[in-house]
Structure 1
Amino acid sequence: MAIPLLHGWVLYVSLTSFFISLMFLLSYLLGFYKRFASWRVLDSLYHGTTGILYMSAAVLQAHATIISEKDSINEYYINTAASFFAFLTTLLYILHAFSIYYH
């Protein structure tokens, strides 16, 4: 069972974070981090915000896992793996935000 709202939000969060990360990479390669002292704060705010967005996507994915428990067992396993990696991604983004800010 496909849940369009869930998949749309997860795709939005993933693509948005990808494009912003790409902009950060390009600005890093161009040396903007040397010119601006607030680079760490901006990087920490970005990763913290992305962690919150991924947390919302992970909660939606966990809800989809609970719903899919009644459907096929194969879909349940796929949603379980997706929920696990969504929460893992959230944890890594938040840990990175704190490590950059307090480093």
Structure 2
Amino acid sequence: MASTTIGDVLPTGGRVFTSIPDLFFIPEFVFGGLVWILVASTGVKHENPMGWVMFVSVFCFVMTTLWFFIFLCGCNRSSSWPTMDVGYHFVATVFYLSASVLLAYITVVEGQVLAPLLGLDSLFDLLFEHRKIYKLHIAAVVMSYLATLFYFMHTIFSAIRWKRS
């Protein structure tokens, strides 16, 4: 009867790039970084919930980077790491889902404000800037939901790996 050790469960080094839950680190970096860049490029106002979106994108980007390097360097040899892996990715999924919903709501409200102004030519400069920000927010919503999807898939596959350990 073969026993399963923690070394068989969590990959280290280059094996991080070949194991299925850990392969999701790369799209999490890409889409999370794009959310951060797109929202930051539009400016964050204090009176709306974009601050939460910025916090989530920066927090998850930094923590995923640290998590990735911990796995890459092989510092994840303790038996508690599979549990912490599931826990972190679950929290990141919930954070990103809440940020995605808020960002989508803000974008819908911006679209409703923008629609009546489309017929006014005298406000062209203001309208152009507002449409640019609106389009950036639409892109950020898409990237945010994609990041949520990848964090969710990472959580599911990490939970399957945790059950095996």
Work out whether the TM-score is over 0.5: yes
Structure 1: which 5+ residue stretches go unaligned? none
Larger % of helix: which? 1
Further displaced range: 38-47 or 53-62:
38-47
Aligned ranges 1:25-64 → 2 under 5 Å: 25-34=68-77, 36-64=78-106
Larger Rg: 2
Q: 2:30 maps to what in 1?
A: none
| C-alpha distance after superposition, 1:19-66 (max 9, x if no partner) | 2223323432442222x1221221111011001001111011011111
Q: 1:67 maps to what in 2?
A: 109
Runs (4+) of structure 1 exceeding 6 A deviation are none
Q: 1:75 & 1:30 partners in 2: Cα distance? A: 40
Q: 1:12 maps to what in 2?
A: 55
TM-score by length of 2: 0.54
TM-score by length of 1: 0.82
> Relative to 1, partners in 2 of residues 1:73 and 1:30: Cα closer, same or farther, differing over 3 Å?
closer
Q: Percent identity?
A: 27
Does residue 83 of the first structure (1) align with residue 141 of the second (2)?
A: yes
CA RMSD of aligned residues (A): 2.1
